[in-house]
Structure 1
Amino acid sequence: MDKKLSIVIITGMSGAGKTVAIQSFEDMGYFTVDNMPPTLIEKFVDLLSTQDSNQENKIDKLAMVVDMRSRVFFEHLRSIITELTDMPTIDFKLVFLDANDLELVARYKETRRSHPLAIDGRVLDGITMEREILTDLKNLSDLVIDTSELTPRNLRSQILQNFSTQTTNTFRIEVMSFGFKYGLPLDADLVFDVRFLPNPYYLPELRNQNGTNEAVYHYVMDNEASEAFYTNLTAMLKPIIPAYQKEGKSVLTIAFGCTGGQHRSVAFAERLSKELGKDWHVNVSHRDKDRRKETVNRS
């Protein structure tokens, strides 16, 4: 029996946290669409339903934000919800995000944005009108979350509690190596400079190898300074990684840099990824490992 297509529609009051919610679903592996016009939902669901069951990147989890930004299309949402609920091949859930008027007004003042129903009027008037329009949908919802007193982290936690599965890993660590001569990685959270260590580049037999090579790896690691640095580094990282996860971070990127990103940084990235991989979901990548070789070949 084919697995049901899981579909979640997120709606609710403007300013109640739908952006945080859709990001949370994306972190759980859902295919996400923000500001989906209700009139296109049926066509999109039909497209997903005709996927080949053996397709490698088959989409089986979909989360959509549908709200008052859709304006004239929004009135179609009620009938679409009824259709999705009645379809036996779909596991459908409607999530409604709410907050009290005082908190919504404060959030709009903080962001200085216009309410979608009160572009030329008072924010509170738009909130009042929207609440009246959405009353019926709120009563239909499978899950109502009041975000008045919730931080973004708390909201993510509630969504994870209700929708994550045992097979869903919502936190991962990316360990990467790079060369300072090619620039810092823009997405790194933690950057460590290992240029203080002896450089294998100056040994002819190791120059054209990289840190994944056993000889290069041991040249870098079988060094008193390397071992001291690595020991202190892991002693620092292991206690703080859970704090990143608790704060709601989905990806933690740890980068090691050396001059060219070929030897020392690669060796350290390889070693740390294996160590952290014992307790966490870890990916390792080497941005500039083959950069010098490619430059030489082109010339």
Structure 2
Amino acid sequence: MSSDSIKRVLLVTGLSGAGKSTALKTLEDIGWETIDNFPIRLVDSLLQTPPSSSRGDSDLPLAIGFDSRTRGFEPEKLFNSIEHLQQNEGYLISTLFLDCTGGELERRYGETRRRHPLALDRPAKEGIALERTLLEPFRRWAGHVIDTSDLTTNDLQRDIRDRFTLDKDAVTTITITSFGFSRGIPNNIDLLFDVRFLSNPFWEPTLKQLTGLDPEVAEYISKDPSYPEAVEKILDMLTFLLPRYQDAGKAYVNVGIGCTGGRHRSVHIAERLSKDLRGAGFSPNVLHRNLASRPLEALESMQKLKENRGV
């Protein structure tokens, strides 16, 4: 049987509060289809269901979460169901168990003020001990065990990505957006740079109707004494941060470059940074949100007045 035709299934379980929800959300982010608290005895039927038509021909690997709260949770019957699944050569079944010390779980429950599902009217400590006993066979049997006692949420997400990422060569999508502060800040910006300190071509009659894509405007902006160092520092920051976003598994990074109207300085700087980043091995997309907007002298005048007042 071809490896491409084998359905990959990951069973995700562990102690309540140890990070199962975070693990499943991270798996979903990296391309897995995820279902939580699904009865294991019904998994065989689920696997035989064709993928959604919205996914085309794609049949994603499946991550199924279960724990002591799952309907029909009986360890012996669950083992029998899983062993039955493993006999099917069309399935590659593995298990991830999320563990955590009792003391840390107590602290987490105390911090969130949630009740443990197995100790609704008793101390959380008792529920944790009972659940640990129920799930111990799964911990011994699991192919992957992650102890989250000393892990932050980001640490756990990174571990899940390292173990289960489907496309090891996936690249973060970088988008550089130029915009005008006078027309509002885009709501999806991760890194924001304000370039209103640079000389404004709007106040040059021959440049007002041009944009940052025109060489005359680019030349004017680049003559500002602050220009070389500013571009260098912004580029240094981006080339430092972008690989770290990539390592953290961030799918999209949106960089905003803002000036007053979004037609001159921000456009030029976005284009310049895009060119320099491509030279450094990145592949950014560039969007100019306000490039086609009509120049508004009242907005530029208001901004100039604020600058003169030191606001």
What secondary structure does 2:106 align onto? helix
Which residue type is aligned with residue 218 of structure 1? Answer: A
Matched, 1:105 2:85: no
Q: Please identify, of 122-131 and 261-270, the stretch whose mean Cα deviation from structure 2 is larger.
A: 261-270
C-alpha change, 1:232 and 1:52, in structure 2 (3 Å) is: closer
Note if 1:189 corresponds to 2:190: yes
Shift of residue 222 of structure 1? Answer: 4.1
- State whether residues 200 and 216 of structure 1, in contact with CA within 8 Å, keep that contact through their aligned partners in structure 2: no
CA contact (8 A) 1:210 1:289 kept: no
The change in CA–CA distance for 1:233 and 1:281 in structure 2 (over 3 A counts) is: closer
Q: Could you tell me how far 1:192 is from its partner in structure 2?
A: 0.7
RMSD of aligned residue pairs (Cα, Å)? 3.7
* SS, match of residue 157 in structure 2: helix
Distance 1:187-1:138 versus aligned 2 partners, 3 A rule: same
CA distance in structure 1 between the partners assigned to 2:185 and 2:52 by the alignment: 43
**Could you tell me which residue of structure 2 aligns to residue 47 of structure 1?**
49
Measured after TM superposition, the shift of residue 234 of structure 1 is: 1.4
Separation in 2, partners of 1:205, 1:4? 65
Count of aligned pairs: 288
Structure 1 residues 37, 188: closer, same or farther in 2, change over 3 A? farther
Pair 210,17 (structure 1): closer, same or farther in 2 beyond 3 Å:
farther
1:218 is matched with 218
For residues 263 and 59 of structure 1, the distance between their equivalents in structure 2, rounded to whole angstroms, comes to 47
| Separation of aligned partners in 2, 1:25 and 1:207 | 50
Give 3-state SS (helix, strand or coil) of 1:292's partner.
coil
Q: Is the 8 A contact 1:37 1:66 kept in 2?
A: yes
- d(CA) in 2 for partners of 1:86, 1:220: 71
In structure 1, stretches of 5+ residues that fail to align are 294-299
One-letter amino acid matched to 1:137? F
Distance 1:146 1:232, change over 3 A: closer
From the superposition, tell whether residues 67 and 172 of structure 1 become closer, same or farther in structure 2 (CA, over 3 Å). Answer: farther
Structure 2 equivalent of residue 297 of structure 1: none
Pairwise mapping of residues 19-34 of structure 1 onto structure 2 (< 5 A)? 19-34=21-36
Letter in 2 for 1:107: R
Structure 2, unaligned stretches of length 5 or more?
295-311
**Structure label with greater radius of gyration:** 2
Listed as ranges, the matches of 1:1-299 within 5 Å are 1=2, 2-36=4-38, 38=40, 41-48=43-50, 55=56, 58-70=58-70, 72-75=71-74, 77-164=78-165, 167-169=168-170, 171=172, 173-199=174-200, 211=212, 213=213, 215=215, 218=218, 222-224=222-224, 225-242=226-243, 248=248, 250=250, 251-277=252-278, 282-286=283-287, 288-289=289-290, 292=293
Q: Assess, with a 3 A threshold, how the Cα gap between structure 1 residues 23 and 261 changes in structure 2: closer, same or farther.
A: farther
Instruction: State the distance in 2 between where 1:22 and 1:33 align.
Output: 8
Q: What is the aligned-residue identity percentage?
A: 34
Deviation at 1:40, TM superposition (A): 6.0
> What residue is the counterpart of 1:296 in the other structure?
none
Which stretch of the first structure deviates more once superposed, 140-149 or 17-26? 17-26
Contact persistence 2:201–2:217 (CA under 8 A) = no
Report if aligned partners of 2:176, 2:274 keep a CA contact under 8 Å in 1: yes
Cα deviation digits, residues 36-55 of structure 1 (max 9, x gap): 454664454333558799x3
1-structure distance, mates of 2:34, 2:280: 29
Q: Is the 8 A contact 1:261 1:286 kept in 2?
A: no
Report the AA paired with residue 188 of structure 2. D
CA distance in 2, matches of 1:217, 1:92: 60
Between 14-23 and 179-188, report the one with greater CA deviation. Answer: 179-188
